[in-house]
């Protein structure tokens, strides 16, 4: 439980770091922000903040491919992410709840499932399939350009351990809708 609370605290701290630039770069806030309804596909970096304490697995640095399809007239989005490194990748379908924070930016929370391609090989989000929770922000900073950042928490994401995995992502995306 102590490790879970430490991971949750790390996610909260990094989420605050992700949200601060979004507020600064996304434009002026209004009384009722509209957020962004951008559907996009992007790429960036991924950094694991945890490792499997029961093995010699180190934290992993890698990349990410992430996408969002906004569901019209709802605060719900379908999302997908692939976190990868030189060893394997974790493929994640997710659903999120999006909250407008400025006229061009959203904060979001979501859930999904991580499928690790090679069980036992360390991905940026653990080394086995797991339930994933995510929190992040996205901002449309120019026409058709979206920046995103999020934290992902993989529950019971390591073999032979009940430890959670935490990963942070930053990236830029092209808005296609």
Among 147, 148, 165, which Cα is nearest to 156's? 165
Helical segments of the chain, H only: 2-25
In angstroms, how far is CA 11 from the centroid of its own chain? 10
What is the C-alpha to C-alpha distance for residues 164 and 150, in angstroms, rounded to an integer? 16
What is the C-alpha to C-alpha distance for residues 135 and 131, in angstroms, rounded to an integer? 14
DSSP state of 37: -
Q: Is residue 94 a contact partner of residue 73, using CB atoms and an 8 Å limit? A: no
Full pLDDT tens readout for the chain, 177 residues: 455 445 544 555 445 444 444 444 444 544 789 999 999 999 999 999 887 655 555 667 899 999 999 999 999 999 999 999 998 999 999 999 999 999 999 999 999 999 999 878 889 999 999 999 999 999 999 999 999 999 999 999 998 888 899 999 999 999 998
pTM surpassing 0.85?
no
Full residue range of the structural domain in which residue 114 is found: 2-175
Distant-in-sequence contacts of 108-112, Cβ < 8 A, 24+ apart: 108/77, 108/134, 108/135, 108/136, 108/137, 108/138, 108/150, 109/133, 109/134, 109/135, 110/77, 110/79, 110/134, 110/135, 112/79
What is the C-alpha to C-alpha distance for residues 53 and 71, in angstroms, rounded to an integer? 40
Q: Indicate which CATH number applies to the domain containing 165.
A: 2.40.160.20
The predicted pLDDT at position 3 comes to 57
Q: ∠ CA 45-48-50 to the nearest 5 degrees? A: 170
Number of structural domains found in the chain: 1
């Amino acid at each position: 439980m102590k490790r879970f609370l430490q991971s949750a605290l790390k996610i909260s701290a990094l989420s605050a770091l992700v949200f601060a630039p979004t507020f600064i770069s996304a434009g002026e806030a209004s009384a009722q922000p509209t957020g962004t309804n951008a559907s996009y596909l992007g790429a960036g970096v991924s950094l694991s903040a945890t490792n499997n304490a029961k093995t010699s697995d180190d934290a992993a640095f890698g990349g990410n491919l992430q996408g969002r399809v906004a569901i019209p007239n709802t605060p719900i989005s379908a999302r997908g992410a692939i976190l990868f490194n030189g060893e394997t990748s974790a493929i994640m379908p997710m659903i999120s709840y999006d909250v407008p924070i400025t006229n061009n930016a959203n904060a979001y929370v979501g859930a999904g499932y991580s499928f690790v391609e090679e069980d036992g090989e360390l991905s940026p989000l653990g080394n086995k399939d797991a339930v994933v929770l995510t929190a992040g922000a996205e901002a449309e900073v120019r026409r058709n350009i979206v920046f995103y950042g999020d934290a992902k928490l993989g529950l019971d994401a390591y073999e032979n351990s009940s430890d959670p995995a935490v990963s942070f992502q930053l990236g830029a995306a092209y808005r296609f809708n």
